[in-house]
Amino acid sequence: MSDNDPNDAAAAVDEARLWQRHEDMAQHGLTPRGGVNRQAFSEEDRAARRTMIAWAQALDCTLATDEIGNLYIRRAGRDKKAAPVVTGSHLDSQPTGGKYDGAYGVLAGMEALAAMRDAGIETKRPIEVVAWSNEEGSRFEPGGMGSAVFARDMRLADLLPARDPDGTALGDALARTLEATAEVPHRDSGFLIAAYVEAHIEQGPRLEAAGLPIGVVTGIQGQHNYEITVTGTEAHAGTTPQRDRRDALQSAVAIIAALGDLMHDETDTLRFTVGRMDVQPGSHNTVPGHVAFTIDLRHPDGAELDRRGDAIEGVCQAHVGPCDVVVHRLNAVAPTRFDPKVIETVQHWADALDFSNMLIASGAGHDAMFVAKLCPAGMIFVPCEKGISHNEAEAATPADLAAGARVLTACLVDLANRV
Amino acid sequence: MSDNDPNDAAAAVDEARLWQRHEDMAQHGLTPRGGVNRQAFSEEDRAARRTMIAWAQALDCTLATDEIGNLYIRRAGRDKKAAPVVTGSHLDSQPTGGKYDGAYGVLAGMEALAAMRDAGIETKRPIEVVAWSNEEGSRFEPGGMGSAVFARDMRLADLLPARDPDGTALGDALARTLEATAEVPHRDSGFLIAAYVEAHIEQGPRLEAAGLPIGVVTGIQGQHNYEITVTGTEAHAGTTPQRDRRDALQSAVAIIAALGDLMHDETDTLRFTVGRMDVQPGSHNTVPGHVAFTIDLRHPDGAELDRRGDAIEGVCQAHVGPCDVVVHRLNAVAPTRFDPKVIETVQHWADALDFSNMLIASGAGHDAMFVAKLCPAGMIFVPCEKGISHNEAEAATPADLAAGARVLTACLVDLANRV
């Protein structure tokens, strides 16, 4: 056993400390029902960043932030010029989200740094924890912005005009966020990364059903996001004959019903969701003149995903009736296959630390899918109760969170000394 | 010709004064596109009431307000104990409404009082102008509250807990409104009325198409309003299989599509509108757990209206799929047939004043439909451009507004001396 044995680092993971930090972090945006509302670049997000900075300073780590607000916490390695091994996830949440989605990956990374310090571990490469900005996209669309800008998959200049439902521009909210951490030095995004491992709750039911604490993630299904805008004419509900109406809501309903047929899948592999729908002017006795709704479409097979996605425009035009429809594809992310070396490393340490585990594909998108375009990448899943996520009832156990953090810690030490 | 000739009163109507008062009133809630947003019991509504009070005081009229905030402006008659002849309409508007819907009926009534004063007219019965509260129902449902409470068709206690989309209770907004006119004496609603005539823009295209300035209104179609609530389960859009979903939006879409079939009408007489739809939590990557939408249903035949309305619950239950649905009927107003004597009086004075006219049924609901349960009632329509209403583009001409006010003035003087 050397001074830098990953087993020693993993053993130093402190389950109680990790659990308490989830409780502490959840105070930023805690909801009355025990969930979290900490949307990107909000006051709650800024408070979460301040907490991260305090924790990083207590670990004698160095800090940096980039142009999209990604926050980096770096533990030095022996080779100061070597590219870092990176872990992390996101601190923003859904409007009715839970305490673990995203936050777990960041806090497990911080626990890994603390465990390495406690165990006196020194690595060849530096190790960095990153909190990627705006993964959820619930306030400013599209999601995955921080990691996508890092990976040059999105351009910052294209994103700045995006507005939240209250009309606030992303550029303004981002500027306020960067001002709130003005003492943190700037670093340009897109720097070289040696390897990336992200820990996350599964957000699905399979690990819990199998009774396993660790999922070794093989990849992420592809995802397209669309915004559909239907325009008709506002009119009086009592006097306007049906034949004279251009009712944007009725057209939207016809389109969504037809899209449901288009998206039918006997194998139940395709994921088709209309999550947001805005009806204007929203008066019970006025025919709606304007409807906007979103489509979230996912499939593990890229060709099948493209085939279904490409058919949306035609279905919209065919069923819009007397109204007008505009189909805007917000983003399209191909399926991700993680790096075999990283998958093997995660599986090795799960086995070595005696955590039963399974190979698993991710249904949800994660920052790792953008980072995987730049470097060898992988993910570690831990179970969440009943697979419930994007919900204030999201729950996980201290033991499972610690198990994932131990596997993560061992992987980081191993990768930072080996690759 | 006597001192109390209705012709003299009608001739004293001042087209320019009436037009200017529409412009003045529209300042309370004027929108950038030249429409009006003056919703019930809002700050803008309170400002409109203050303007009405000032105008009433300049005419030496007496004021009163009742428990639901209906505002009464009374010109004394010779017989102080006689029940008044009443005219009026409402000052509240749709969120993207126009300058004439409702306001015209109140301002034409005020112009009638001014014309009577200018012409030195004295009537046997008092004449009152009323501004009924919350006719539109766009902020607090259901609409027609002021006149319905007056007619004992709704109970105030049942309405007070209603909340606007921001969560403000009707009781609180009403209390603030009554405080803002605290100097106006209280009078209980439901007092005896001798006859009621309401002037209004047509809100439909028929008078304009026929080239006629006056519509003699024979009745109002019946109307039911419903709120439908669909409850499912919030879930992650990427990980939740379709078979495990309880997607409230997809269930709502299936219900609305099926209701469209139920409400099909070859004669295009039925009016079926889903005007408001709220989807929660409203994130593009979360399966919606809650959808609420409204139904506005109208037909001139009461039996047919009841038959269609009674079938809504069954269709909702049959198409809700894995979610739960609750159907709440907010109100049901049977078709109204106006009093033959009032219809004849309106037609007589339109002819006598040389305004070409036609008999016409109202597609829109009006306060007159509640008042008609209490006393002989009728309405006078004037054209609006292209029939457009509940829209900021709503328009009418000074000449048509004045024509309607002249017919109204003659009818009021005639009725106040005759009945």
Instruction: Confirm whether B6-221+335-418 and B222-333 share one CATH topology.
Output: no
3-state secondary structure of B391: coil
ipTM over 0.90: no
Name residue A278's beta-bridge partners: A292, B278
B63 DSSP 8-state letter: E
Taking the C-alpha atoms of residue B23 and residue B107, their distance in angstroms, rounded to an integer, is: 11
Q: What is the pLDDT of residue A3?
A: 63
Nearest to B44 by CA among B173, B148, B164: B173
Taking the C-alpha atoms of residue A378 and residue A97, their distance in angstroms, rounded to an integer, is: 24
Taking the C-alpha atoms of residue A394 and residue B1, their distance in angstroms, rounded to an integer, is: 83
A296 with B241: Cβ contact below 8 A:
no
A250 with B268: Cβ contact below 8 A:
no
CB contacts, 8 Å: A254 with chain B: 257
Tell me which chain A residue has its CA closest to the CA of residue B287: A275
Of A234, A274, A363, the CB nearest to B390: A234
Of A256, A295, A296, the CB nearest to B253: A256
Residues 6+ apart with CB under 8 A from A142: A148, A154, A225, A330, A331
Give, rounded to a whole angstrom, the gap between the first and last alpha carbons of chain B.
19
| CATH number of this structure's domain B6-221+335-418, picked from the four choices 3.30.420.40, 3.40.30.10, 3.40.50.300, 3.40.630.10 | 3.40.630.10
Name residue B378's beta-bridge partners: B197
Asked if residue B220 lies in contact with residue B367, where contact means CB atoms within 8 angstroms, the answer is no
CB contacts, 8 Å: B284 with chain A: 137-138, 141, 225, 273, 275-276, 294-296
Asked if residue A125 lies in contact with residue A84, where contact means CB atoms within 8 angstroms, the answer is yes
Half-sphere exposure of B338 (CA within 13 A, CB side): 29
Taking the C-alpha atoms of residue B405 and residue B16, their distance in angstroms, rounded to an integer, is: 12
pLDDT band of residue B1 (cuts 50, 70, 90) is very low
A204 with B239: Cβ contact below 8 A:
yes
**Strand bridging mode B71-75 / A377-382:** unpaired
Q: What is the pLDDT of residue B418?
A: 86
Asked if residue B208 lies in contact with residue B194, where contact means CB atoms within 8 angstroms, the answer is no
Nearest to B92 by CA among B54, B37, B129, B141: B37
Q: What is the pLDDT of residue A333?
A: 86
Of B137, B234, B241, the CB nearest to A96: B234
pLDDT in tens, chain A (419 residues): 456 899 999 999 999 999 999 999 999 999 999 999 999 999 999 999 999 999 999 999 999 999 999 999 999 999 999 999 999 999 999 999 999 999 999 999 999 999 999 999 999 999 999 999 999 999 998 899 999 999 999 999 999 999 998 999 999 999 999 999 999 999 999 999 999 999 999 998 899 999 999 999 999 999 999 999 999 999 889 989 899 899 999 999 999 999 999 999 999 999 999 999 999 999 888 999 999 999 999 999 999 999 999 999 999 999 999 999 999 999 898 999 999 999 999 999 999 999 999 999 999 999 999 999 999 999 999 999 999 888 899 999 999 999 999 999 999 999 999 86
pLDDT band of residue B156 (cuts 50, 70, 90) is very high
Taking the C-alpha atoms of residue B260 and residue B254, their distance in angstroms, rounded to an integer, is: 10
B250 with A260: Cβ contact below 8 A:
yes
A239 with B204: Cβ contact below 8 A:
yes
CB contacts, 8 Å: A136 with chain B: 283, 285
B124 DSSP 8-state letter: S
Handedness of CA A365, A367, A368, A372 (dihedral sign): positive
CB contacts, 8 Å: B135 with chain A: none
Smallest CA–CA distance, residue B289 to chain A, in Å, is 9
3 state SS for chain A: CCCCCHHHHHHCCCHHHHHHHHHHHHCCCECCCCCECCCCCCHHHHHHHHHHHHHHHHCCCEEEECCCCCEEEEECCCCCCCCCEEEEEECCCCCCECCCCCHHHHHHHHHHHHHHHHCCCCCCCCEEEEEECCCCCCCCCCCCHHHHHHCCCCCHHHHCCCECCCCCEHHHHHHHHHHHCCCCCECCCCCCCCEEEEEEECCCCHHHHHCCCEEEEEEECEEEEEEEEEECCCEECCCCCHHHCCCHHHHHHHHHHHHHHHCCCCCCCCEEECCCEEEECCCCCEECCEEEEEEEEEECCHHHHHHHHHCHHHHHHHHCCCCEEEEEEEEEECCEECCHHHHHHHHHHHHHCCCCEEEEEECCCCCHHHHCCCCCEEEEEECCHHHCCCCCCCCCCHHHHHHHHHHHHHHHHHHHHHC
Tokens at B361, concatenated = 């049924």
Smallest CA–CA distance, residue A276 to chain B, in Å, is 4
CA distances from A269 to A261, A299, A380 (A): 15, 7, 22
Taking the C-alpha atoms of residue A138 and residue A145, their distance in angstroms, rounded to an integer, is: 11
Smallest CA–CA distance, residue A139 to chain B, in Å, is 8
R_g over Cα of chain B: 23
Q: Is B32 exposed, middle or buried (0-12, 13-18, 19+ CB in 10 A)?
A: exposed
Of A238, A282, A298, the CB nearest to B271: A238
Tell me which chain A residue has its CA closest to the CA of residue B284: A275
Tell me which chain A residue has its CA closest to the CA of residue B254: A257
Residue B3 has pLDDT above 70, yes or no: no
Nearest to B202 by CA among B419, B401, B410: B401
Smallest CA–CA distance, residue A206 to chain B, in Å, is 10
Q: What is the pLDDT of residue B135?
A: 97
A237 with B296: Cβ contact below 8 A:
yes
B236 with A204: Cβ contact below 8 A:
yes
Biggest distance spanned by C-alpha atoms of chain B: 84
Nearest to A129 by CA among A114, A110, A101: A110
Residue B55 has pLDDT above 60, yes or no: yes
B391 with A254: Cβ contact below 8 A:
no
Asked if residue A381 lies in contact with residue A87, where contact means CB atoms within 8 angstroms, the answer is no
Q: What is the pLDDT of residue B173?
A: 97
Smallest CA–CA distance, residue A55 to chain B, in Å, is 30
Asked if residue B38 lies in contact with residue B146, where contact means CB atoms within 8 angstroms, the answer is no
- Residue whose pair of structure tokens reads 């991700």 in the numeric block: A336
Domain residue spans of chain B: 6-221+335-418, 222-333
The one-letter amino acid code at B218 reads: T
Tell me which chain A residue has its CA closest to the CA of residue B228: A284
3-state secondary structure of B253: helix
Residues 6+ apart with CB under 8 A from B328: B226, B227, B228, B229
Smallest CA–CA distance, residue B238 to chain A, in Å, is 5
**Strand bridging mode A286-287 / A235-236:** antiparallel
CB contacts, 8 Å: A270 with chain B: 242
CB contacts, 8 Å: A95 with chain B: 281-283
B240 with A365: Cβ contact below 8 A:
no
Taking the C-alpha atoms of residue B257 and residue B276, their distance in angstroms, rounded to an integer, is: 15
Taking the C-alpha atoms of residue A4 and residue A77, their distance in angstroms, rounded to an integer, is: 12
CB atoms within 10 A of CB A203: 25
R_g over Cα of chain A: 23
CB contacts, 8 Å: A272 with chain B: 242
CB contacts, 8 Å: A268 with chain B: 241-243
Taking the C-alpha atoms of residue A322 and residue A230, their distance in angstroms, rounded to an integer, is: 10
CB atoms within 10 A of CB A160: 16
Tell me which chain A residue has its CA closest to the CA of residue B237: A273
Name residue A163's beta-bridge partners: A169
Instruction: List, for residues B235-284, the tens digit of each pLDDT value.
Output: 889 989 899 899 999 999 999 999 999 999 999 999 999 999 999 999 88
Specify whether domain A222-333 bears CATH 3.30.70.360: yes
Taking the C-alpha atoms of residue A188 and residue A192, their distance in angstroms, rounded to an integer, is: 11
Tokens at A365, concatenated = 């998108």
CA distances from A296 to A132, A227, A293, B129 (A): 21, 9, 10, 55
With residue B319 as reference, give the H or E element that holds it: helix B312-319
B240 with A204: Cβ contact below 8 A:
yes
Residues 6+ apart with CB under 8 A from B56: B62, B63, B73, B110
Count how many residues are written for chain B: 419
B364 with A249: Cβ contact below 8 A:
no
Nearest to B412 by CA among B125, B216, B190, B215: B125
3-state secondary structure of B42: coil
Nearest to A407 by CA among A1, A4, A6: A6
Tokens at A73, concatenated = 């916490």
Smallest CA–CA distance, residue B24 to chain A, in Å, is 25
Taking the C-alpha atoms of residue A74 and residue A114, their distance in angstroms, rounded to an integer, is: 12
B285 with A137: Cβ contact below 8 A:
yes
Residue B179 has pLDDT above 90, yes or no: yes
pLDDT band of residue B44 (cuts 50, 70, 90) is very high
